[in-house]
Amino acid sequence: MSVIVPIHGPAIAPAPAPERVGVLLVNLGTPDSCDTKGVRIYLREFLSDPRVIENQGLFWKLALNGIILNTRPARKAKDYQKIWNHEANESPLKTITRAQAEKLTASLGDRGHLIVDWAMRYGNPSLRDRIEALVAKGCTRLLVVPLYPQYSAATSATVCDQAFRVLRELRAQPTLRVTPPYYRDPAYIDALATSINAHLATLSFEPELIVASFHGMPQAYIDKGDPYQAQCVATVEALRDRMGLADDKLLLTFQSRFGFDQWLQPYTDKTIEALARKGVRKIAVVMPGFSADCLETLEEIAQENAEIFMEHGGQEFTAIPCLNDSDAGIQVIRQLVLRELQGWL
């Protein structure tokens, strides 16, 4: 009687899933709610990042946990409530960034192997959550798009830091690319000029000058080699050339200073006050460092700085919307993405 012995060969691995490419738009972040608790959670994460506050020593930790997180959240919650998207129960930054991702997807056409998603560096949806989701969908290549025209260690670099922290924990890492800053990209400068002119055309008055306000940072960060200030200057110079404006008709300023250290100058609020005191009665403010409207543009500039201008003699003030999810704004992002995806599509 013969016995048939089965032969066990090597296990056959399942066929690999089709490779996909993920594009992840990333903006700074937002609280999940506009109450004190939500803002406190957000500020704790944001201000605990050593890229944002470089000296995370004992003094800072005592100040953060003993003073700042016990006083600042309630004040900032009131500011968020002024600009909150109550219908969707989220901040405008979240609403706009989602729309940017959706419109970018539509503008790229039917590409079954390309997936566009969005995330926040601080708050939700988190970088970890969205990177893991893209990997789960079969993305073996990932393009991270920090939505900051000008590079800074406190913005663009911390996005990269967090992305690599997530990848460090993955056995099968996707190949990673990161888009560069686009502070003087012709498409970006053209989009800014088009947006400014379109907004000015809707006004019942003609501004005497335009203030270009960028988010500030401590002067010490620039002294250590951060290129942010130089890139802001380059943006304004390119925009002046594109719009044919003299230096005194498009001013460069910096907003949102925090703490007691010296920050980049001239300060936006002090400049706007000084302009009103000198007799300037009509101004416009544009925020070229922000890809989407947020607390710093909708509340700090459009409300707080407008009040400063009026209180010191100004008569007409307008805040020019960011590029947001406008056709021109999406075209800037689309061009940037397609350029960096060369060889992957």
In tens, the pLDDT along 31-44 reads 999 999 999 999 99
Q: What is the CATH number of the domain that holds 302?
A: 3.40.50.1400
- Looking at residue 18, its pLDDT comes to 62
Q: Does the residue 157 lie in any domain?
A: no
Residue 330 has pLDDT above 60, yes or no: yes
Average pLDDT over residues 157-171: 97
- Tens of pLDDT, residue by residue over 98-145, are 999 999 999 998 877 999 999 999 999 999 999 999 999 999 999 999
Higher pLDDT, 111 or 81: 81
Q: Does the residue 137 lie in any domain?
A: no
Residue 247 has pLDDT above 90, yes or no: yes
Residue 270 has pLDDT above 70, yes or no: yes
- Looking at residue 319, its pLDDT comes to 98
- Looking at residue 9, its pLDDT comes to 52
Average pLDDT over residues 235-253: 98
Average pLDDT over residues 15-33: 88
Q: In whole numbers, what is the pLDDT of the chain averaged over residues?
A: 95
- Looking at residue 108, its pLDDT comes to 94
Query: How many CB atoms sit inside 10 A of residue 289's CB?
Result: 25
Q: Does the residue 112 lie in any domain?
A: no
* CB of 77 closer than 8 Å to CB of 36: yes
Q: Does the residue 306 lie in any domain?
A: yes
Domain total of the chain: 1
Residue 14 has pLDDT above 70, yes or no: no
Residue 218 has pLDDT above 70, yes or no: yes
Residue 167 has pLDDT above 60, yes or no: yes
- Tens of pLDDT, residue by residue over 63-72, are 999 999 999 9
Residue 246 has pLDDT above 70, yes or no: yes
- Looking at residue 112, its pLDDT comes to 76
Q: Does the residue 107 lie in any domain?
A: no
State which residues form the domain around 231: 186-319
Residue 164 has pLDDT above 60, yes or no: yes
Which stretch of 14-23, 153-162, 286-295 has the lowest confidence by average pLDDT? Answer: 14-23
Q: Does the residue 193 lie in any domain?
A: yes
- Looking at residue 17, its pLDDT comes to 54
- Looking at residue 230, its pLDDT comes to 98
According to the annotation, is 296 in a ligand binding site? yes
Q: Does the residue 289 lie in any domain?
A: yes
Q: Above pLDDT 90, what percent of the chain?
A: 92
The pLDDT-based confidence of 283 (bands split at 50, 70, 90) is very high
- Looking at residue 19, its pLDDT comes to 83
Q: Does the residue 275 lie in any domain?
A: yes
- Looking at residue 110, its pLDDT comes to 81
- Looking at residue 260, its pLDDT comes to 83
Residue 231 has pLDDT above 60, yes or no: yes
Phi and psi at residue 273, to the nearest 5°: -65, -45
- Looking at residue 236, its pLDDT comes to 98
Average pLDDT over residues 143-168: 98
Give me the residue label for tokens 């972040």: 29
